[in-house]
Amino acid sequence: MSNEALRPETIAAHALRGVDEATGAVVPPIYLSSTYARDENYKPLLKENYVRNGNPTLWQTEEAIAALEGGTSALLFASGMAAITTLLETVPAGAHVVAPDVMYYGTRDWMKRLEGLGRITLTLFDPRKDGALDAALQKGKTDLVWIETPLNPTWDVIDIEAASKATHAVGAILAVDATATAAVTTRPLKLGADVVFHSATKYLNGHSDVLAGVLVTREENQRWTDVRMLRTKIGAPLPPLDCFLLMRGLRTVFVRYRQCSANALAIAKHFEGHPKVERVLYPGLASHAGHAIAARQMRDGFGGMMSLLVRGGFDDAQKLCTRLKVIVPATSLGGVESLAEHRKTVEGPTSPVPDNLVRLSIGIEHVDDLIADLEQALASL
């Protein structure tokens, strides 16, 4: 059966290609060689002859991710920030970039750095305000619109289809950071996005043992050619062993994501209205302002990411993280283990994130243990 006829769950479980044709191995091999020989005519035996340009392990992982996203091509990078900064490098000098005011702080900081250097002009918009994106766009000047959905760490939801129409109307491209949803639930390219980004460290890998980023494009064009060239020139492709580990994680992404989502929804419902919680931020709740949009563009659950606004402010929010016994106080998200993070501490005093926000990455543990752990930590405040 062709890959086009297979459902995404099967593509992921078989790492796209299934059994290795050369050996019969059901687990894809790792090609660790840094260089590859040429034939008797001095032509490369593979399409590339040096690992900085690519290798078979990298290509198979990229092909699998592109197939899951419904894209024409994927490029893996040695980190999420390597992927983001490479895409931003393709923005023409002085061109206009639009992004939400609350998003992953590494992306925001890098954009502000480029603005400070005069490389780009930047407009940050409030996605909670109707018409804010449209007002931020500048016809003929805006080159790139970057959005996240749900937004990290407030989990506000942006309508991808509406954003793509507005973006294309002014001649720009839309890039969507879909890290929090993985390729399992939201497919931005099918909703009109031009490029989708994942910090593959997170849900795509899912085991907190790989640092990786990936860009997937709807069509291969000059900008994509430039991204590919830049990745090679700066030496940023994902190394073979990391590709192997990422592919290992990718094979279970659907079952992991669904369990994380089910756990997160149960926890969100349990703590909504809790006396020591000012508010639960989770798009799976009917009370969430973006719930209707999330329900329309997400499937297989609303993800494992949520935040609690803790009564008591900065100090109590920070203490909550340190008093958890099952949930680990650590950075990152999307792994099989649950993590808690006080975002204001991590992002610093200039962060727009509320002082009392605790970000939770819900894993696959038994949900009753997670609820009990949060209850005891809240009771100690």
Torsion from C-alpha of 114, 65, 62, 163, nearest 10 degrees: -30
Beta carbons of 262 and 280 less than 8 angstroms apart: no
Phi, psi of 304 (to 5 degrees): -100, 5
282 a catalytic residue: no
The active-site residue, picked from 108, 119, 187, 202, is 202
The active-site residue, picked from 104, 105, 257, 282, is 104
d(C-alpha 356, C-alpha 308), whole Å: 8
31 a catalytic residue: no
Q: Which of 117, 52, 71, 114 is nearest to 89 (CA)?
A: 114
228 a catalytic residue: no
Cα-based distances in Å from 204 to 287, 357, 373, 381: 29, 25, 26, 35
50 a catalytic residue: no
304: CB partners within 8 A, 6+ apart? 203, 257, 260, 261, 263, 264, 333, 334, 361, 362, 363
The active-site residue, picked from 156, 159, 177, 242, is 177
The active-site residue, picked from 20, 50, 52, 311, is 52
Q: Which residues are catalytic?
A: 52, 104, 177, 202
